[in-house]
Amino acid sequence: MAATIISLDEYRKRPNDTTQVASGSLDPPKPTITTLSPSEANPVSSARTDPRDVYPGGESSRLGDALKGLSSAIELVNEAAAAMEEDEFVQADNFMLRFHAALPTLFTFRDLSDGFGALVNALDWAIRNRDGVSLDREQILAVRDALTNLRARPFMAFQLAADETLRLEKTGLVVDPPDLSAFADLEEDSGPHG
């Protein structure tokens, strides 16, 4: 299906109705019509767009700093995944420890969106709750996917972050602080009326 474009500029260049009536021409001016192919009408690609291309000034702004931090974090997690593939478990754990150390800096960008802060917080607790036990390959890949999605959507809505945390939990990661988990367990055990 092609889109039809009517040039209003061309339409406006023609004499107005009173001039036409005075000159004896009652036919309205004919606008120029241009037909575009589907690719011209919808130039948006289905490929992922780099957020730096979408948000002007992203490289020098707070957003740019957040994107750089996310890129660095993704790089560390990718290194951990690569080390895991080579059965270099100590090296993989080292990269994940370095990633975990970068999370407090990423959390400082939580004002970009509710989802940003919620997801970074969930990633922090997911690693803290392991109590020093290394993440397995599936968990590392889930962390990488969550970071990649956050980098693609730094203004992530809270509900999207909640969806990401559910994916993390499906790998066995616990994304809530221990105190809240204990409270939730007590609430479930006591029923609606305690």
Give residue limits of the domains in the chain: 3-37, 61-175
Mean pLDDT of the chain: 79
The predicted model scores a pTM of 0.63
For 53-92, the pLDDT digits (tens) are 555 554 458 899 999 999 999 999 999 999 999 999 999 9
pLDDT at residue 180 greater than cutoff 50: yes
**Residue 46's pLDDT is what?**
44
**Residue 178's pLDDT is what?**
83
- What residues contact residue 145 under an 8 Å CB cut-off, 6+ apart? 164, 167
**Residue 13's pLDDT is what?**
63
Stretch 155-162: mean pLDDT: 94
Half-sphere exposure of 73 (CA within 13 A, CB side): 29
pLDDT at residue 133 greater than cutoff 80: yes
**Residue 61's pLDDT is what?**
86
Q: In angstroms, rounded to a whole number, what is the distance separating the alpha carbons of residues 180 and 157?
A: 22
Token pair for 41: 């009408």
pLDDT at residue 20 greater than cutoff 60: no
**Residue 55's pLDDT is what?**
53
pLDDT at residue 141 greater than cutoff 60: yes
For 87-104, the pLDDT digits (tens) are 999 999 999 999 999 999
Stretch 179-194: mean pLDDT: 60
pLDDT band at residue 44 under the 50/70/90 scheme: very low
